[in-house]
Structure 1
């Protein structure tokens, strides 16, 4: 069962509390910037993970400004289409509403203080664990993801929670808070970031959503190189007889993404699968194809290309 960290309470909650019950993803992606794209990407990953678990999902987008441009950018980033922000689900018998928004909206909605050790304006962005040559999942096991609310529950402010409405974050239900994106390249514009949409998507997936994502040309180049390697490998594995995804591998993948959408953990599994000697190429191919139902990185793009 997929569990997500509720930024309202600092506690993990089921993303789909009712079996087969409709879950609505209400996404507040105001602003035309990389952080808005990351918010939309997080919503997209929630949709895909819930659908893989058999939960019907309905998504809406609240973007007071730049909505056409955001939708176009989201399409390029392989984010599934959103409905408009209208109360159309009132008669659909939804079991839960999950709100996805920028992390800075959390304090306005919950009346909570920043995460301990986090500056009021958000934690200072730094390189992701894999950019420092570390294993993100291993780092998490050592408790090194302390800058996000996943490891440090948010303290309730003395004044108590507020109920001032925030656009796109209305009503009850878990709140998924998404940390900002800082672009460190020479030009800060969406066209620059979206020159290779799949590389941008992978670069964002590498960083836990609770942590600020600091991107530059080098990070995008490394992501593009990783994608090229995986696509080339899949094209080669596809020439061998297919084999099922090994059950231990499937269990590791699901355990990762059902643990608050731990996408760095999912990527770690793929790296292990590529290098584990006792797996057949057919099993490697099916594992990557299965994981790509969530990742949406078009890993099978080069099938049939010359060796």
Structure 2
């Protein structure tokens, strides 16, 4: 298992290359999942203060922006990417064993839809469902899971908007430290989601501290939890 804090510290930018497999149809989400995993890794490293440069090989994947995935800094073959980024990638993210050699390899399991895409779905709900599962375990995304994620995200965004109206407080340091340890050890986004769920319901934590903690960890999760700030706070958001 990749331990980010052990292997990816250093000076200068970290170069990450995502190798997108050829899709097996509209319900195949393995390509987006590879890009999402590379995006998460980049966000975690950047949160530690190290700049990241990203590359992408393979076919283009539609709707990556809607999934909250940052665009690659370079595209093409590994050689073209190395030339564009000023050096070879230190981390290779792919859906099958990487045979190019050099650096660390992160293998991402397959992902697929179990039902046709709903035209009205929030793409970030799909991101959320993927975040709830370890990147190295296969996953089939159901319509029920996406619907549940949409409801949860809507509730969290309303809550964050409400908490933002309350007096500022420091983030919950112990929770944030635990979340970052999991992210840096194995990209354990599922644990971060669970921790935020517990924090949301904790009556002993001030609203301002909840806001700062949700906003901080969303820099990695990329779920746009702060996008409703400025709207009327939800009932009970001052808890």
CA contact (8 A) 2:5 2:184 kept: no
Distance in 1, Cα, partners of 2:66 & 2:140 = 21
Distance in 2, Cα, partners of 1:287 & 1:173 = 33
Return the offset for 1:181. Answer: 1.0
Return the offset for 1:16. Answer: 4.6
Report what 1:21 is aligned to: 12
Deviations 1:126-172 (A, max 9, x none): xxxxxxxxxxxxxxxxxxxxxxxxxxxxxxxxxxxxxxx4xxxx221
CA RMSD of aligned residues (A): 2.2
Structure 2 residue 21 is the aligned partner of structure 1 residue 30:
yes
Point out where structure 2 has 5 or more consecutive residues left out of the alignment.
234-239
Which of residues 67, 71, 78 is equivalent to 1:77? Answer: 67
Q: Secondary structure at the match of 1:59?
A: strand
CA contact (8 A) 1:193 1:200 kept: no
Q: Per the alignment, do residues 85 and 204 of structure 1 end up closer, same or farther by CA in structure 2, a change over 3 Å counting?
A: same
Which of residues 110, 115, 125 is equivalent to 1:199? Answer: 125
Q: Per the alignment, do residues 39 and 46 of structure 1 end up closer, same or farther by CA in structure 2, a change over 3 Å counting?
A: same
Q: TM-score of the superposition, structure 2-length normalised?
A: 0.86
Q: Secondary structure at the match of 2:180?
A: helix
Q: Per the alignment, do residues 76 and 13 of structure 1 end up closer, same or farther by CA in structure 2, a change over 3 Å counting?
A: closer
Report what 2:217 is aligned to: 291
Distance in 1, Cα, partners of 2:68 & 2:40 = 11
CA contact (8 A) 1:77 1:194 kept: no
CA contact (8 A) 1:20 1:55 kept: yes
Report what 1:98 is aligned to: 91
Moved over 6 A (4+): none
Q: Per the alignment, do residues 176 and 27 of structure 1 end up closer, same or farther by CA in structure 2, a change over 3 Å counting?
A: same
Return the offset for 1:17. Answer: 3.8
Count of aligned positions: 226
Q: TM-score of the superposition, structure 1-length normalised?
A: 0.68
Structure with max Cα Rg: 1
Distance in 1, Cα, partners of 2:14 & 2:52 = 5
Point out where structure 1 has 5 or more consecutive residues left out of the alignment.
7-11, 110-164
